[in-house]
Amino acid sequence: MGLNRVFPILHRVAALSSIRSTTALRHSLCKPTVKLCYASLCNFQQMKSVSTETALSHHISDLTDREKRLLTKLYDELIGGQRAALTESITFVETQHPRKKELAQVLLQRMLAFRQELEKRNGGNPVAFRVGLSGPPSAGKSSFIEVVGKMLTGRGHEVSVLAVDPSSCTTGGSLMGDKTRMTELSRDMNAYIPIFLCEGAGYDIVLVETVGVGQSEFAVADMVDMFVLLIPPAGGDELQGIKRGIIEMADLVVVTKSDGELFVPARRIQAEYTSALKLLRKKSKVWKPKVVRISSQMGQGVPELWNTMLQFRDAMLSSGELRVCRQTQQKVWLWNLIQENALRQFQQHPAVCAELPELERRVTCGDISPGLAADLLLKVFSTIQ
Range ranked top by mean pLDDT from 256-265, 267-276, 366-375: 366-375
How far is the C-alpha of 285 from the C-alpha of 330, rounded, in Å?
A: 21
Domain ranges within the chain, ordered by starting residue = 125-167+186-319, 332-383
Q: What pLDDT shows up at residue 213?
A: 53
**What CATH number should be reported for the domain whose range is 125-167+186-319?**
3.40.50.300
Q: What pLDDT shows up at residue 33?
A: 37
- CA gyration radius for the chain? 23
Mean pLDDT (whole number) for 353-371: 94
pLDDT tens digits for range 132-157: 998 887 788 888 988 998 899 899 99
Range ranked top by mean pLDDT from 18-27, 206-215, 312-321: 312-321
Would you say 194 and 104 are in contact if contact means Cβ atoms under 8 Å apart?
no
Compute φ and ψ for 192, nearest 5 degrees.
-60, -30
Q: Kindly report the CA angle at 85 between 54 and 163, in degrees rounded to 5?
A: 105
The sign one gets for the Cα dihedral 122, 125, 126, 131 is negative
- In order of 67, 92, 96, 111, the CA distances from 61 in angstroms are 12, 20, 20, 18
Which carries the bigger pLDDT value, residue 121 or residue 42? 121
Q: What pLDDT shows up at residue 280?
A: 81
How far is the C-alpha of 107 from the C-alpha of 370, rounded, in Å?
A: 42
pTM of the entire predicted model: 0.72
pLDDT above 50: residue 12? no
Per mean pLDDT, which range of 108-122, 233-247, 263-277, 357-371 is the poorest? 233-247
The sign one gets for the Cα dihedral 144, 145, 150, 156 is positive
Mean pLDDT (whole number) for 275-288: 86
Which carries the bigger pLDDT value, residue 15 or residue 377? 377
% of the chain surpassing 70 pLDDT: 71
- Mean pLDDT (the chain) is 75
Q: What pLDDT shows up at residue 377?
A: 94
Segments of the chain assigned E as strands: 10-11, 129-134, 159-164, 172-174, 181-183, 205-210, 226-231, 252-255, 290-293
Q: What pLDDT shows up at residue 49?
A: 45
Would you say 219 and 227 are in contact if contact means Cβ atoms under 8 Å apart?
no
Q: Give the pLDDT band of residue 205 (cuts 50, 70, 90).
A: very high
How far is the C-alpha of 259 from the C-alpha of 253, rounded, in Å?
A: 17
For the sheet with 159-164, list strands across it.
10-11, 181-183, 172-174, 159-164, 205-210, 129-134, 226-231, 252-255, 290-293
Compute φ and ψ for 324, nearest 5 degrees.
-65, -40
How far is the C-alpha of 176 from the C-alpha of 33, rounded, in Å?
A: 10
pLDDT tens digits for range 290-328: 999 999 888 889 999 999 999 999 999 999 999 999 999
Would you say 165 and 133 are in contact if contact means Cβ atoms under 8 Å apart?
no
Which carries the bigger pLDDT value, residue 167 or residue 80? 80
